[in-house]
Amino acid sequence: MEEINYLRVIAGLLLVLFFPGYTLIQAMFPRRGELDEEFDTLYRVTLGMAMSICVVILIGFVLANPSLGNAPNWEGISDEDKGYFQPFFVTTSLLLTTLLFFIAGWYRGAYPWMANIHPSLARAPPGLRIESELAVAGKYIPAELLELQGLKHDRMNVKVKLKEAESRKRTGSSTMKKYYEKREKTFLADLSDIDSRMAELDEILTPSGEGGGLSADVIQEESEESLPVAVPDVESDTEE
């Protein structure tokens, strides 16, 4: 009996202090790293707990409104002499609200792992370009391709931060140089991890022996980004 009570306490705390706000944050910011590149998960958990309290307060105001009248008399569930601010209605409202936020987050692409349950559940976060071949009716977006697109975005952000650290290292004081040297090493390690993961996903999406696949456009875009850098040299050689 005590074990069941402990489970109810834990489930109640999660429902009141975590799930509603966390699913709301996921629906508002579906992309990984959107809140913060380094502490994104911590931000989501913290904001989720804060927003959960706000959601509970709003639901409490609605259910405690006297204009709703008395609750129905369901034996063992609700008392007709009281309003709707009772455990059953509060729990039901929180569950429905959490489910609504979860569906909104899934629709905006916050849960790419849903594709592992069924391919039709795959959704892309906003801002990601999905290949036109996948827009054809009957096709689906593999979870690996969604992750690859996200990694491409993360790689661009890391490269920007790496260039910023290099420029500040050259112009800063000796203390700042040491700091940005450490940051530079961290960014290089992150870049290496991203590249290795992108290579793994590319092997999954493009089996060996095939000339291209669903990941071809993603990798091709990455290689095309470096082309403008070499253009001036080609033009200068032509002029000479």
How far apart CA 103 and CA 111 sit, in angstroms, is: 10
The residue ranges of every structural domain in the chain are 2-110, 132-239
Q: What is the CA radius of gyration of the chain?
A: 25
Query: Is pLDDT at 72 greater than 50 in this prediction?
Result: yes
How far apart CA 50 and CA 55 sit, in angstroms, is: 9
In this structure, of 73-87, 124-138, 182-196, the range with the lowest mean pLDDT score is 124-138
Task: Supply the pLDDT for residue 227.
Answer: 44
Query: Is pLDDT at 125 greater than 80 in this prediction?
Result: no
